[in-house]
Structure 1
Amino acid sequence: MARRCCRLKNILICMCTPCCFLTFLYIYAALTISLQMNSMLSKVSSNLASPHFKALGSFRNYTGPSVPKTFWENHQESDALWNQLQRSVDHLFNPLLHPEKSNTLLERSSLDESLLHQSYNKVTAMDRVRDTFEKLPKQIREFARYMQRRDYPVLLHPDGECGAQSKQEKEPPLILFAIKSTVLNFKNRHAIRQTWGRIGWVEGWRINGSDGEVGGAYIRRVFLFGKETPEELGMDVSHLLRAESKRHGDILQWDFQDTFFNLTLKDVLFWSWFSHRCTQPLFVFKGDDDVFVNTPKLITFLKHQLKQHQTRGTMDEFMVGDVIGSATPNRVKRSKYFIPEGFYRGRYPVYAGGGGVVYSGGLARRLHNISKTIHLFPIDDVYVGMCMIRLNAHPVHHPAFLTFDFTEKEEAEPCSYHSILLVHKRSPREVVELWADIRSTREQCQDVPLRADKKKTLKTTPPPSA
């Protein structure tokens, strides 16, 4: 009996051992594959988290990569028009769904605007989207009706290939001043041409107690326009703008309606013009025609930045200004910044205030490329922020870009205008007076450092006016 039990035990051991071994092998293989898949997905997610945003709302069962909570709100059921339009484009570049396109996620420079036209036609053909469209306020509807179009002809060209320039220019210009203006703001342009926007060689001034020679740089200038009809203005002034263009050679005008919401269109068309016409300017200043710029100190500041970023190889990412973070759309109907929930849901990306911002020429070309895959947005500086986050580039905040203006106490201090690079909302008369004042007080204020934040935090609300 004992022998029979022993034999049976040996048989069971021989039969069960391979089964147990195979079971453990399957478990080990399953764990290994699971860990590898998690590792691969985490790498994909880490690559996507920073440079890309997701426009929620057009694909209800979408399970693509998520984004930081500080940007888009998680409204999967949102019917906001812009979100649906952009989501339609983003879907095509999801590396999990379309691995063959993963290499084009950052630049997408081989594309043209046809992708935006396709997504616009596809989304706006949906019945529920048409219903959403009809409920939008009139001004937003007008914007949305033409937001896919960017093929506007140029009506007036600058004399120079890349803006007005000095005939004595002996080296590549440091800055191209690209200033958004409107036809009737003649006094603003006249003041700028006399003062901070004067073309040619400009001497730099010391900043923050810098020693040694600061040198100088060449400046170029161009004013950016849309078109205003005689019906809108109550008179026909087109001949005056043509005469101004002939005299100064610094007008760039396109054949689109010059409205507040079309300021974004000025950015996009300027990037295209710059990419095709401008090979020399190292920096672009893009701003409004009611700002005051301390050009001599801006030159010195940018020459310092040029050395630092060339050393680090980051010139193609450089943008500096008054940076605003964690802003939300303005839902006040009386505000010109009003964006209804039916058009856009979510937070805004970090962006530099549009009153005045400086970026490198290389970044301007990259912005032109990436803008071909991002639908226009009515607020121009927010749109630039959307393009920046696509490029995984981040604007740098500097408190000397004062788009919110001084406090009364600060402005009353001696040499206050020597501590800034830009201040917003100055009349033509104030611009001329400030230019004369900083030049007459240069010697006594030469050791005043650039303005610095005490708390070094980003602003979280946009300025009250543009």
Structure 2
Amino acid sequence: MATKDIWQSLAQDNVPFMRHIKRTFILLLTVALLLSAVAYVSDFSFETIAFSQTWLIKMMNQTHNKIINSTSPDRTQKDLLAPLPNQQIQPRGTTVAQTTDIPIYHHVAHPRNYHFTLDEPDKCSQLDPFLVFMVPVAPHQLEARNAIRSTWGNESSVQGKAVLTLFLVGLSGGAEAQQQLEEESRQHRDLLQSDFVDSYFNLTIKTMVIMDWLATRCPQATYAMKVDSDMYINPENLMSLLLSPNTPRENYITGYLMWDRPVVRDKNSKWYVAEELYPEPNYPTYLLGMGYVFSNDLSGKIVEASKEVQPFNIEDAYVGACLKQLGVAPSSPPDPSQFRAYLGQYFREDFLRVITTILGSPQQLIDIWKDVKRPT
């Protein structure tokens, strides 16, 4: 008998059986649909709350916690995190209100989630600095670090006050690059490294790790300044500001002030922040991240405030949100023109007056520094 005839015979003999299977399948499908509907209604509020946290993990925490691909729609943030060896993911601060028993781990930017792989824990006890420059910089930007080391970062004493400059990097991304960083650290003893991936979306983590280092390793410093690696700094002018009798030594932070800045909601923008992460239409007053100086008591206070402030990926605005949580208002500098974004065409007199301004390259910093420091 041909194969086709065999299958036709079997089909005719089993018609009643096949009808029974069909009815059973339809019944089971109906039950499954009803159960899915019930589950959807009961879980809706949790999914709404968890959305912003999952987005935050994917966008901000491209760190030592690697994003795990998942097809399951109900995974918690803890499921999405894979710690490095010998590390544990711990909940930080408070949890978000929810309708289930599954906790939300939303303080992924809290610095205690990370650990130093390169550190200088005794620097401040040895040098007792009055002012510490903390420079966040990418691991590969050796040229920028060397330019700072040969210019304003080489100033160890200004107007009789000890000054310290340190660089903070994240993970280097390769064994060879890491080996080079470790050699650089042995040579200069000014490198700090924490185990988060060094990326634009992790600048909030980077800044909070800086604050934590200042609070835990350098509480004796009176002032600190977070300053980007492409900046010109005039330490003399800065020190004159800090030594002024009118400059507070507690709850003080100043720089280039940003008032009533709207939150960018354009998803195509690098400055995009989702409404779920920061619902207000405008940021609180904050200091432009290029360079702001603060009394060092604020470093630990900002770290504590971060336990209550949901992190988002605009680091300077996030510090402003922490200051608002603390009830600390950023101060306008006595001469706002000393904190400049850009000076435009080079005039030596301008650089003799300012405290900060952005430059175009490490070589430009070296050239301008030489000219500013030349005898007149």
Q: Percent identity?
A: 26
- RMSD of the alignment, in Å? 3.4
- Deviation for aligned residue 1:373: 2.0
- Deviation for aligned residue 1:184: 0.8
Equivalent in the alignment of 1:405: 342
- What is the TM-score normalised by the length of structure 2? 0.69
Equivalent in the alignment of 2:300: 365
Within 5 Å, give how 1:181-196 maps onto structure 2. 181-196=137-152
> Where does structure 1 lack aligned partners over 5 or more consecutive residues?
1-59, 61-76, 86-112, 131-142, 203-214, 444-466
Within 5 Å, give how 1:159-238 maps onto structure 2. 160-162=122-124, 172-202=128-158, 215-230=159-174, 236-238=176-178
Equivalent in the alignment of 1:292: 232
Equivalent in the alignment of 1:440: 374
CA contact (8 A) 2:110 2:205 kept: no
Q: Could you tell me which of 359, 363, 374 is aligned with 1:429?
A: 363
Pair 1:265-2:202 in alignment: no
Within 5 Å, give how 1:292-441 maps onto structure 2. 292-304=232-244, 307-309=245-247, 314-346=248-280, 347-398=282-333, 399-406=336-343, 408=344, 411-413=345-347, 415-440=349-374
- Deviation for aligned residue 1:295: 1.1
CA contact (8 A) 1:326 1:349 kept: yes
Q: Could you tell me which of 151, 158, 169 is aligned with 2:120?
A: 158
- Deviation for aligned residue 1:418: 1.2
| Distance in 1 between residues matched to 2:131 and 2:238, nearest whole Å | 10
- Deviation for aligned residue 1:392: 1.4
- Deviation for aligned residue 1:413: 4.7
User: Which deviates more, 363-372 or 319-328?
Assistant: 363-372
Structure ranking higher on relative contact order (CA contacts 8 Å, 6+ apart): 1
Equivalent in the alignment of 1:10: none
**Could you give the per-residue CA deviations for residues 408-427 of structure 1, whole angstroms, max 9, x where no partner exists?**
4xx45551111210001331
- Deviation for aligned residue 1:386: 0.7
Determine helix, strand or coil for the equivalent of 2:144: helix
- Deviation for aligned residue 1:365: 2.3
- Deviation for aligned residue 1:372: 2.3
| Distance in 2 between residues matched to 1:243 and 1:145, nearest whole Å | 33
Equivalent in the alignment of 1:89: none
The alpha-carbon distance between structure 1 residues 328 and 79, as it changes in their structure 2 partners (threshold 3 A), is farther
The alpha-carbon distance between structure 1 residues 360 and 145, as it changes in their structure 2 partners (threshold 3 A), is closer
**Could you give the per-residue CA deviations for residues 416-460 of structure 1, whole angstroms, max 9, x where no partner exists?**
11121000133110111111111126x5xxxxxxxxxxxxxxxxx
CA contact (8 A) 1:400 1:422 kept: no
**Could you give the per-residue CA deviations for residues 134-157 of structure 1, whole angstroms, max 9, x where no partner exists?**
xxxxxxxxx979457842121001
Pair 1:119-2:95 in alignment: yes
| Distance in 1 between residues matched to 2:100 and 2:370, nearest whole Å | 58
Determine helix, strand or coil for the equivalent of 1:376: coil
CA contact (8 A) 2:129 2:164 kept: yes
The alpha-carbon distance between structure 1 residues 184 and 194, as it changes in their structure 2 partners (threshold 3 A), is same
User: Which deviates more, 244-253 or 143-152?
Assistant: 143-152
| Distance in 1 between residues matched to 2:272 and 2:107, nearest whole Å | 17
Count of residues in Structure 1 that have an aligned counterpart in Structure 2 = 294
CA contact (8 A) 1:150 1:265 kept: no
- What is the TM-score normalised by the length of structure 1? 0.57
Report the AA paired with residue 186 of structure 2. K
| Distance in 1 between residues matched to 2:108 and 2:300, nearest whole Å | 24
Equivalent in the alignment of 1:45: none
CA contact (8 A) 1:180 1:223 kept: yes
- Deviation for aligned residue 1:334: 3.2
**Could you give the per-residue CA deviations for residues 45-70 of structure 1, whole angstroms, max 9, x where no partner exists?**
xxxxxxxxxxxxxxx9xxxxxxxxxx
Within 5 Å, give how 1:70-109 maps onto structure 2. 81=52
User: Which deviates more, 321-330 or 221-230?
Assistant: 221-230
- Deviation for aligned residue 1:124: 9.7
The alpha-carbon distance between structure 1 residues 147 and 298, as it changes in their structure 2 partners (threshold 3 A), is closer
| Distance in 1 between residues matched to 2:171 and 2:308, nearest whole Å | 26
Equivalent in the alignment of 1:29: none
| Distance in 1 between residues matched to 2:239 and 2:111, nearest whole Å | 36
